[in-house]
Amino acid sequence: MDWVAVGLTLKLAAITTLILAVVGLPLAYWLATTNRTWRPIVDAVVAVPLLLPPTVLGFYFLVATGPDTFVGRFYAFVFSGTIPFSFAGVLLASVLYNLPFAVRPFASGFAAVDRRLIEASRCLGASAPRTFATVVVPLSWPSVLTGLVLAFAHTVGEFGVVLMVGGNIPGVTRTIALAIYDDVQALDYAGANQASAVLLVFAVSVLAVTYSLQRRVVPV
């Protein structure tokens, strides 16, 4: 087992999930409660990584964040480095690529919360963020947890985007999925088999936990 790759993978997945919680929860709440005309466009942008090959996302990400772009120069000015082929770059691409896996479960959970309870909370003096924390999330936590678990698990198993954006730099951007690819290229089937088995068991258990959570309905 390539323990460096395992550690890097877990770190990437954990930080990605954390960022998705901070960004994705409000975004999902907005999507679940708004009926503005351009909501379908935001919905589509959030969901597009589900259909797009990771290479396409990775390609545009590289084009948009290269050292000569505005984003690239700004990043170099602040952190004196480049986004492509760095951990930060992989992390950012990973957040974008995993957006639907977190936001869609969040949003469907929030949409299922009775609007009247939200209105009641507002009429009882609670602001929108307070209502979100004390009414919406407690009533939709299985969906929130599902979204976080799926985002984490999906990041662990990510391949294309990491390869496109991060290259394959040991200790920096080489995750477990890339390590398996390298093992197979090097005809090290034993190493590939070991890591693959771990990922398989991990994926199946995560899905089992997720589905059992979804069956749990908050009794009303």
Partner 1 sequence: MTLLDVDIGFHYRNGPGIECHWQDPIEGPRVTVFLGPSGSGKSTVLRCLAGLERPQRGYVRFGDRIWFDAARGVNVSPDRRNLGVLFQDYALFPHLTVERNVAFGAYGLAQSEVARRVTELIDVFQLQGLESRLPRQLSGGQQQRVALARAVFRRPMLLLLDEPLSALDRATGDEMREELGKLIRVLGIPTYIVSHNRADALALADRTVLLDEGRIIQRGTTQDVFDAPTSSAAARLVGVDTILLGRIASIDNGLARVTVGSQEVRVAPPAEVGHEVALCVRAEDVTIARHDAVDLSAVNHWRAVVRANTQEGPLVRVVLDCGFRLSALVTRDAWQRLELKSGDGAWAIVKATTIRALPRN
**Contacts with partner 1, residue ranges (CB under 8 A):** 114, 116-117, 119-128, 130, 134-135, 138-139, 218-220
Q: How near is the Cβ of 41 to partner 1 at its closest, in Å? A: 20
Distance between first and last Cα of the chain:
47
Q: How near is the Cβ of 131 to partner 1 at its closest, in Å? A: 8
Q: How near is the Cβ of 130 to partner 1 at its closest, in Å? A: 7
- When the beta carbons of 116 and 215 are compared against partner 1, the nearer one is 116
- When the beta carbons of 4 and 117 are compared against partner 1, the nearer one is 117
SS3 of 27-46: HHHHHHHCCCCCHHHHHHHH
Q: How near is the Cβ of 106 to partner 1 at its closest, in Å? A: 18
Q: How near is the Cβ of 120 to partner 1 at its closest, in Å? A: 4
- When the beta carbons of 60 and 141 are compared against partner 1, the nearer one is 141
